Amino acid sequence: MTTDVTASARTLRAGFVGAGFMATVHSRAARAAGAELTGGASSSPERASAAVERLGLANAFGSVDELLADPDIDVVHVCTPNTTHAAIALAALEAGKHVICEKPLATSVADAERLRTLAAERGLVAAVPFVYRFHPMAREARARVAARETGRLLSVHGAYLQDWLAAPHDDDWRVDRALGGPSRAFADIGSHLVDLVEFISGDRIVRLNSTIRTVYERRATNVDIATEDLVAVVVEMASGAVGTLLVSQVAPGRKNALSIELSGTDASVRFEQERPDRLWVGRAEASSLIERDPARLAPDAARLSLVPAGHPMGYQDAFNAFVADAYAAVAGTRPDGLPGFDDGARAVRVTDAVLRSAASGTWAEVAA
Ligand code: SOE
């Protein structure tokens, strides 16, 4: 259904847990959606105060518990290191808050399932920022596949390549299992790829065979690194289509290169998130590169197209649209394509299968 992504739920009161890049992006989106930015908490009162000042929030909370106990907060944005997501999201739901939790939703299947069940039982909005769904041309690809323009799905071919860990000295909390969890590259960015492949295709990965590599076992501060830098996966979809996914954080020159190509019996579609205002539509007789033009897009793609053709949209726009839809859901509407804890748990199950397959050297089934 159609929602106004610019004017939903003006009086929502948002709290933020975390103080890094993602907390900045979330708070910008919350502000754009008209929420009151009630306050923030972090790993220490000092970090919380610094984040509150930087992000322009009203109050610094001494702890996450204090933030969750505040009756003036309706929705909690969880933007902390991966291994803390599940406990904070769980406590937020228990406290009766709506939750927007960063991916990976959890670092174990059991925790992800617990969160999914609790969110459903409580009837609270529980969303995961698979924000690449919110690029209008990704929606356009989905609409064309759903309208059978591409025919019967034959293959999927996706990659998500970055280079911010390409040099041996590059380092980050994500490489440390204690903070990042047992999977790094796949949980961090492969989860986006899984979500987008399944969202656009309307299909599901049912089994897979993966190989993983840790290229650097020591970095600037982390040693004995046991999380993967790159992953190659062969997938089988429920429909019988087959595909490959390549995920790397050590691909020099690639900054945030997520690309997806689906080929059916009649046509192919290709979306690249670094050039999000375009969609390639391939046909044997003639292919075309379609530029975003709201007047010519499917309704769902036009809805998310906030500015006219020729005026580029980008990452923060997609994030803003995601948060606006999550807040619209809090206000009682049901925006199409809002990624929830079901989707977050789904990506955790696929990640678990990737690790199982890599460890065993055999195919792994993905739990439905
Ligand atoms: C780092 O890998 C990161 O910021 C991810 O955590 C985001 O999900 C991705 O969108 C960009 O890269």
Domain range enclosing 276: 136-307+340-365
State the pTM of this model: 0.95
CATH number at residue 41: 3.40.50.720
Last residue of a domain, one of 112, 131, 150: 131
> What is the identity of the amino acid at 298?
A
Name the closest-CA residue to atom 11, ligand 1.
Answer: 256
How many domains does one find in the chain?
2
Ligand 1 centroid–CA 258 distance in Å is 11
State the chain's mean pLDDT as an integer.
Answer: 96
Last residue of a domain, one of 131, 161, 187: 131
* 236 CB near ligand 1 (under 6 Å): no
* 189 CB near ligand 1 (under 6 Å): yes
Do 280 and 168 share a structural domain? yes
Q: CB 296: neighbour CB atoms within 10 A?
A: 12
Do 289 and 205 share a structural domain? yes
Q: Which secondary structure element, helix H or strand E, spans residue 98, and what is its range?
A: strand 98-101
Dump pLDDT digits (tens) for 333-356.
989 999 999 999 999 999 999 999
CA–CA dist 31, 27 (Å, integer) = 6
Answer whether residue 6 shows pLDDT above 50.
no
Q: What is the DSSP string of 208-274?
A: EEEEEE-S-S--SS--S--S-SEEEEEEEETTS-EEEEEEES--TT-SSEEEEEEEESS-EEEEETT
Instruction: Please give the number of the atom of ligand 1 that sits closest to the Cα of 249.
Output: 2
Do 152 and 122 share a structural domain? no
Whether residue 335 is contained in a domain is answered as: no
Do 287 and 188 share a structural domain? yes
Ligand 1 centroid–CA 188 distance in Å is 6
Once rounded to an integer, what is the mean pLDDT over residues 99-108? 98
Whether residue 323 is contained in a domain is answered as: no
Dump pLDDT digits (tens) for 16-67.
999 999 999 999 999 999 999 999 999 999 999 999 999 999 999 999 999 9
CATH number at residue 147: 3.30.360.10
Q: In the 8-state DSSP scheme, what is residue 138?
A: H
* Best residue for ligand 1 mutational test, from 25, 164, 170, 188 (most atoms within 8 Å of Cβ): 188
Do 357 and 208 share a structural domain? yes
Q: What was the pLDDT predicted at 2?
A: 36
CA–CA dist 317, 139 (Å, integer) = 14
Do 213 and 359 share a structural domain? yes
Whether residue 317 is contained in a domain is answered as: no
Do 198 and 82 share a structural domain? no
CA atoms within 13 A on the CB side of 317: 15
